[in-house]
Structure 1
């Protein structure tokens, strides 16, 4: 396979949205990663370009993201980079998207308390009765993309201005909806 694996460090710019589908569940959020460089003429750090990217986290990872990540949080996301495309009134549109394999807080910007979910003790030869979430089916992924288009109105809008203004130092935190 020729998957493009990426790691992106940035800030969550909207509250994660958890959606249950027929066979699985997905959590979506948007993040921004702004490059900074030192300007020796100004003797200060200045912002360079910003990468805006949609993130989808499936299954148990998505549930943990919905419980743990909020708007404004500094995060590190690892996953497969793709381009999501759709038709809008303005024509064909596209946006980068990461199918996350790992999401975590950026501990260079603060601290965190990690909680491992309790696993029920299992007797030898007995089933727990719990049904694990399966990998998403193509129908689940199509439903998730349709919901994402509905959430964004199918388009991010026109103009060259930023989609979101984020200052992680001043952002108010909003809890994820589970």
Structure 2
């Protein structure tokens, strides 16, 4: 109830990793880079200032749709709950910023996208009934040409504490 809900605009910095829990619930994660741009008066134009990186987590149908819709470098808008985890690695203090996503979409101010509704009539099946999630046929550029291989079937993994329902 008192968690911070934020909207972050950025680019997918890593490939989406998709897994299922031992109970068969899907989840996915990727890194999002958000770069601040400032007007540089000395140069008379816009310049990149610094980048912040977030680990974006998605569950259930959002995770499944995310894994078949997003590749590295695509501009995204992510809305969700902000969580900061603190710890130490090799004797050094560290912190990571996570977003438990409630919505993810392409940033249409920087390009176009084709939406395909996924049928929910039969769980796990796509509209063509194959059970395999694929990019929309309108995306004529093959995935290999875009620099990201098709995601192989992922082994089962344990859900991080971040994803357990509160």
Structure 1-normalised TM-score? 0.67
Name the structure 2 match of 1:173.
147
How many correspondences in the alignment? Answer: 130
Q: Is the 8 A contact 1:10 1:34 kept in 2?
A: yes
What is the RMSD computed on CA atoms of the aligned residues? Answer: 1.8
Q: Output aligned runs, 1:1-178, within 5 Å.
A: 1-23=1-23, 24-120=25-121, 130=123, 173-175=147-149, 177=151
Q: Distance in 2 between matches of 1:55 and 1:90?
A: 26
CA apart distance, 1:58: 0.7
- Kindly indicate which of the two structures has a greater share of residues assigned to helix: 1
Q: Is the Cα–Cα contact under 8 Å of residues 14 and 31 in structure 1 kept in the other structure?
A: yes
**CA shift at 1:90, angstroms?**
3.1
Bigger relative CO (Cα 8 Å, ≥ 6 apart):
1
Q: Secondary structure of 2:114's partner?
A: coil
Alignment CA distance shift 1:53-1:119 (3 Å) = closer
**Alpha-carbon distance, 1:40 to partner:** 2.1
Distance of 2:56 and 2:33 partners within structure 1:
10
Structure 1 unaligned runs (5+)?
A: 121-127, 132-171
Give how far 1:118 is off. 2.0
Say which one has the larger Rg.
1
Q: Which runs of 5+ in 2 are unaligned?
A: 125-145, 154-166
